[in-house]
Amino acid sequence: MSGLTDKTSERQEVGGKIDRRSFLQWSMLGLLAAMGLAALNVVVRFLLPPPKEYKATELSIPAGQIPSGSSMVVEYKGAPAIVIHTENGIAAFDATCTHLGCIVKWVRKEEIFLCPCHAGRFDRTGKVLSGPPPEPLHKIKIKLTDNNIVFL
């Protein structure tokens, strides 16, 4: 038994240096510890609520910047929003497609929102006309105050 212990200690230290096997064992242990910490980080970030920085956003746009027939993409609460001005008035929508999250574009000529990813089409009220989107675009409440479009 003592012979085995002597061999082990001989293997670990040869001339005051750590041998290859011990180095690999410590390296693997360090790698496993790093992977464990990375996995723990992912789990903790998943369980924690998202940051609240997106909630305190207020947006106001001069109505003159969106003349009749035009549209404008703005950032609202950390996401792209699209404001359109048609003969029916001014409306704003979350520009994120309800299918897989691509950003829709306003096609003025046809008065539709078109998603470039899978050709999802929405009418000017956000209702799905065709394509894979499972639900309408999310409308954003706005009001016109002092010639400004205010996002609510």
For ligand FES, the closer of residues 90 and 121 by Cβ is 121
- Output b/e per residue, 32-50; b: 16+ Cβ within 10 A: eeeeeeeeeeeeeeeeeee
Q: Of 114 and 150, which CB lies nearer to ligand FES in the complex structure?
A: 114
Nearest distance in Å: CB 112, ligand FES = 13
Retrieve residue 2's tokens: 């003592």
Do the Cβ atoms of 115 and 99 come closer than 8 Å?
yes
Distances (CA, A) of 100 to 7, 81, 91, 107, 148: 62, 16, 23, 20, 32
Positions that interact with ligand FES (CB under 6 A): 97, 99-100, 102, 115, 117-118, 120, 131-133
The answer to whether the beta carbons of residues 150 and 59 sit under 8 Å apart is yes
CB of 129 to ligand FES, least distance (A): 11
Minimum CB distance to ligand FES, residue 81 (Å) = 16
Nearer Cβ to ligand FES (61/122):
122
The nearest distance, CB 115 to ligand FES, in angstroms, is: 3
Name the residue nearer to ligand FES (CB basis): 99 or 124.
Answer: 99
Cβ proximity to ligand FES: between 17 and 118 the closer is 118
Angle separating helix axes 20-47 and 2-12, nearest 10 degrees: 70
Pairing of strands 139-140, 121-122: unpaired
Q: How far is the CB of 101 from ligand FES (least distance, A)?
A: 6
